[in-house]
């Protein structure tokens, strides 16, 4: 079986790599079609091919500058054309970088699958008609949670749930028993302000914020004062594992703008419990495996109470850590690859 995985903007290079490698381990011939990742090194292909067809100039000249957008739009056309010239058994699209253009350009002549990582991406979320037309063009749509499936059902889209695997790691444990972690790209929907407010309610707790900011953080830093440590920028593998190793509990006070969080799966994969707002599909792996606590969305006091319970109760903390380890053992990339292969075979 030949499969092309397409992530034009390289939004999720770690996910792309792990899925492609897991499919290759099950004797699928895989090509990952993407663009140059602009913020750091990516894993070398293992058993699959990687082609950077998209955005050859804009991905090299610009970081997060909005100046790249006009050039990126121009480059999207030849990139999509080159993608559609391929004739795999299945084309599996991870992200639609330019949905308004893709509505016109993306008309594959092979069976197609789309993974709705963010359900309706934030920039175009209100254009439900656009997304209904785009998603209906795919033979199968994958989501990471039951709640994600319910959300797309409201648009008339029948989706298949394949849980997001964890990113397994075994960092050196160096936590002090009272460190709360906010991990990943810093965006408005991540709720850093709520994490700071909750940490202030927990005597002796400190907050570690580790990730690349795409919003101003000076206000957050002034609010947190000495309560927080900031490790800003794209995290290398060693820096990521150092942060995970120092975390006692991770916080996910997200707003409802996504289906699942790669950062959450990094945390669980390191055996670190999580406390999350009940938004999107965040609750599902935490509740399924007993890997922490889930509290009502926007309830800062409940967030603080749940985090404090884990920090103050050794037995509760160890139970949550055991749940995170169980998630790591269960939500594997090989299991996800097998589920995807079954889905692909339905189309052939």
The neighbouring-strand residues paired with 32 are 5, 50
Q: Are residues 338 and 316 in the same domain?
A: no
Mark whether 7 and 145 lie in a shared domain. yes
- Model pLDDT, residue 98: 86
Please say whether the beta carbons of 155 and 131 come within 8 A.
Answer: yes
Range of 211's domain? Answer: 179-330
pLDDT of residue 63: 62
Same domain, 223 and 91: no
Same domain for 121 and 268? no
Residue 74, pLDDT score: 85
Q: Is residue 225 part of a domain?
A: yes
Domain presence at residue 171: no
CATH value at residue 304: 3.40.50.2000
Q: Compute the distance between CA of residue 321 and CA of residue 231 in angstroms, rounded to an integer.
A: 24
Q: Are residues 195 and 123 in the same domain?
A: no
Same domain, 312 and 336: no
**pLDDT value of position 66:** 67
pLDDT, position 62: 66
- 260 and 193 together in one domain: yes
Q: How many Cα atoms sit within 13 Å of 210 on the Cβ side?
A: 23
pTM: 0.92
Q: Look at residue 169 and tell me if it is in a domain.
A: no
Based on the domain organization, do 27 and 156 belong to the same domain? Answer: yes
pLDDT of residue 120: 59
Instruction: Print pLDDT tens along the chain (348 aa).
Output: 999 999 999 999 999 999 999 999 999 999 999 999 887 788 999 999 999 999 988 777 766 666 677 778 888 999 999 999 999 999 999 999 888 889 889 999 999 999 999 875 555 456 778 888 889 999 999 999 999 999 899 889 999 999 999 999 999 999 999 999 999 999 999 999 999 999 999 999 999 999 999 899 999 999 999 999 999 998 989 999 999 999 999 999 999 877 899 999 999 999 999 999 999 899 999 999 999 999 999 999 999 999 999 999 999 999 999 999 999 999 999 999 999 999 999 999
- Backbone φ, ψ for residue 311 (5° rounding): -70, -35
170 in a structural domain? no
174 found inside a domain: no
Residue 251 covered by a domain: yes
Query: Same domain, yes or no, for 102 and 58?
Result: yes
State whether 160 and 14 are in the same domain.
yes
- Is 254 found in the same domain as 193? yes
For residue 307, being part of any structural domain is answered with: yes
- State the total domains in the chain: 2
Tell me: do 160 and 138 sit in the same domain: yes
Q: Residue with structure tokens 């967030």?
A: 303
């Amino acid at each position: 079986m030949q499969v092309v995985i397409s992530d034009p903007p390289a939004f999720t290079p770690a996910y792309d790599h792990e899925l492609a490698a897991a499919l290759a381990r099950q004797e699928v011939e895989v090509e990952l079609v993407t663009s140059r990742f602009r913020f750091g090194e990516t894993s070398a292909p293992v058993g699959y091919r990687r082609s950077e067809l998209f955005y050859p100039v804009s991905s090299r000249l610009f970081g997060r500058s909005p100046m790249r957008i006009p050039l990126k739009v121009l480059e999207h056309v030849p990139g999509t054309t080159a993608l559609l010239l391929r004739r795999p058994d299945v084309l599996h699209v991870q992200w639609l970088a330019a949905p308004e253009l893709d509505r016109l350009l993306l008309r594959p002549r092979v069976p197609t699958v789309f993974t709705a990582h963010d359900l309706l991406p934030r920039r175009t979320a209100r254009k439900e008609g656009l997304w209904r037309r785009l998603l209906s063009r795919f033979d199968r749509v994958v989501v990471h949670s039951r709640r994600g499936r319910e959300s797309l059902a409201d648009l008339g889209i029948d989706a298949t749930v394949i849980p997001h695997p964890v990113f397994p790691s075994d960092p050196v444990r160096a936590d002090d028993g009272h460190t709360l972690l906010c991990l990943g790209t810093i965006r408005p929907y991540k709720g850093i302000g709520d994490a700071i407010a909750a940490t202030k309610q927990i005597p002796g707790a400190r907050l570690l914020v580790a990730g690349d900011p795409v919003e101003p953080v000076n206000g957050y830093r002034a609010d947190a004062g000495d309560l927080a440590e900031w490790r800003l920028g794209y995290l290398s593998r060693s820096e990521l594992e150092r942060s995970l190793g120092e975390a006692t509990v991770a916080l996910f006070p997200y707003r409802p703008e996504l289906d699942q969080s790669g950062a959450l799966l990094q945390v669980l994969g390191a055996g670190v419990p999580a406390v999350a707002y009940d938004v999107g599909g965040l609750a599902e792996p935490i509740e399924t495996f007993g890997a922490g606590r889930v509290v009502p969305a926007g309830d800062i006091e409940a967030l603080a109470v749940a985090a404090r319970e884990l920090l103050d109760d050794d037995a509760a903390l160890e139970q949550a850590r055991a749940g995170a380890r169980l998630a790591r053992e269960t939500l594997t990339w090989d299991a996800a690859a097998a589920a995807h292969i079954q889905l692909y075979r339905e189309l052939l």
